[in-house]
Amino acid sequence: MTGTGVEVPADLVDAALRAARRLGKDVADVPVLAIAQEAGISRSTLLRRIGGVRKTLDEAVRAAGIDPGGQRPVRERAIEAGANLISEDGLAGLTLEAVAIRAGCSVHSLYGAFGGRDELLRAIFETHSPILDVEKVVTGPHADLRETINSIYRLLADVLTHQPRVVPAMLAEVLARPGEPALRALQEHFAPRLLAGLGTWLAEQMAAGLIRPMPLPLVLQQLIGPALMHFVTRPAIDEIPGLDLPSVEETCAVFAESFLRAVSPP
């Protein structure tokens, strides 16, 4: 029974969910006609069976444990909520119950959007790590080597120094619990992408003679390691009285120069 006092048949709730999945929308954003077609009835029949009010159907969907939407998609809200929880409390704070409360949805909705906690964690990391933007930099129209390296460092700086600080929190988890199954699954998913994107680009630079031949894992560490350490600790260093750090732009330029000197051919 909904708040309007109308008993919405389960088959109409199921039809609404099927139509939402087929159209890739929240239930609240699916037209009544599309739901009626999914149920195999006319629009007027559907409206009659739900008491003439669309809100009744959305309430029935919510009563079934699924957020009907009508606001930002559950997936977006969950990724944002999960990122803030990780930034505040580490990986231990990422429970589906906590995310559901923060995102204003049900746990059932999270299972529908992600399938489980590991997939949610993967989506959070992909959204709040620089991996997608780095892929665009190295696969797009190429600037010269120095400018490309500089761009990579600026992306790292942005991700590592601004809220929510998901990547620093995840690094802390890796150092504290390297055997954590969720983190291993994350590494197994993103390591091939890192090698296929940034790794392939670095290999191309070596083949072109712009970077001296070196084992690829070492080149990746040479590129990312020093800047990663600096930008992870930069917010804390900024709080030390009398210790003035150069601007982010200047810092990126220094790291780019250092990297190029280290890997340039003799």
Kindly state whether residues 156 and 254 are assigned to the same domain.
yes
Q: Identify the residue whose tokens are 């790291």.
A: 255
Question: Tokens in use for 153?
Answer: 């460092």
How high is the pLDDT of residue 206? 95
How high is the pLDDT of residue 209? 94
How high is the pLDDT of residue 70? 63
Kindly state whether residues 238 and 135 are assigned to the same domain.
yes
> Is there a contact between 113 and 75 (Cβ–Cβ < 8 Å)?
yes
Grouping H, G, I as helix, E, B as strand and the rest as coil, residue 257 is helix
Kindly state whether residues 44 and 150 are assigned to the same domain.
no
Kindly state whether residues 102 and 199 are assigned to the same domain.
no
- Does residue 144 lie in a domain region? yes
Q: What share of the chain is helix, strand, coil (3-state, %, to 5)?
A: 70, 0, 30
Given phi > 0 = left and psi -120 to 50 = alpha, else beta, which region is 115?
left
Report the domain count for the chain: 3
DSSP letter, residue 247 = P
- Does residue 69 lie in a domain region? no
Kindly state whether residues 139 and 246 are assigned to the same domain.
yes
- Does residue 123 lie in a domain region? no
How high is the pLDDT of residue 5? 66
∠ Cα 6 68 71 (to 5°): 130
Strands (E), the chain: none
Kindly state whether residues 87 and 141 are assigned to the same domain.
no
CB atoms within 10 A of CB 253: 17
Long-range contacts of 147-155 (CB under 8 A, 24+ apart): 148/201, 149/223, 149/256, 149/259, 149/260, 150/252, 150/253, 150/256, 152/198, 152/223, 153/227, 153/251, 153/252, 153/255, 153/256, 154/248, 154/249, 154/252, 155/130
> Is there a contact between 111 and 99 (Cβ–Cβ < 8 Å)?
no
Domain with 103, as residue range(s), is 74-116
Kindly state whether residues 208 and 147 are assigned to the same domain.
yes
Q: What is the DSSP string of 47-110?
A: HHHTTT-HHHHHHHHHHTT----SSS-HHHHHHHHHHHHHHHH-GGG--HHHHHHHHTS-HHHH
> Is there a contact between 4 and 56 (Cβ–Cβ < 8 Å)?
yes
- Does residue 84 lie in a domain region? yes
Indicate which CATH number applies to the domain containing 158: 1.10.357.10
pLDDT in tens, the chain (266 residues): 445 567 899 999 999 999 988 887 888 888 899 999 999 998 888 988 998 888 889 889 988 888 787 667 788 889 999 999 999 999 889 999 999 999 888 888 899 889 999 999 999 998 888 888 888 888 877 668 999 999 999 999 998 888 898 989 988 888 888 888 888 888 888 888 888 889 999 999 999 999 999 999 999 999 999 999 999 999 888 888 888 899 999 999 999 999 999 999 98
- Does residue 5 lie in a domain region? no
The dihedral built from the CA positions of residue 160, 129, 125 and 175, taken in this order, carries a sign that is: negative
Q: How far is CA 233 from the centre of its chain?
A: 22
Kindly state whether residues 46 and 152 are assigned to the same domain.
no
Kindly state whether residues 245 and 203 are assigned to the same domain.
yes
- Does residue 3 lie in a domain region? no
- What is the reported pTM? 0.68
Kindly state whether residues 228 and 138 are assigned to the same domain.
yes
- Does residue 201 lie in a domain region? yes
HSE at residue 220, side-chain half, CA atoms within 13 A, is 14
Kindly state whether residues 149 and 172 are assigned to the same domain.
yes
- Does residue 2 lie in a domain region? no
Kindly state whether residues 189 and 232 are assigned to the same domain.
yes
Whole-angstrom distance, CA of residue 137 vs CA of residue 149: 9
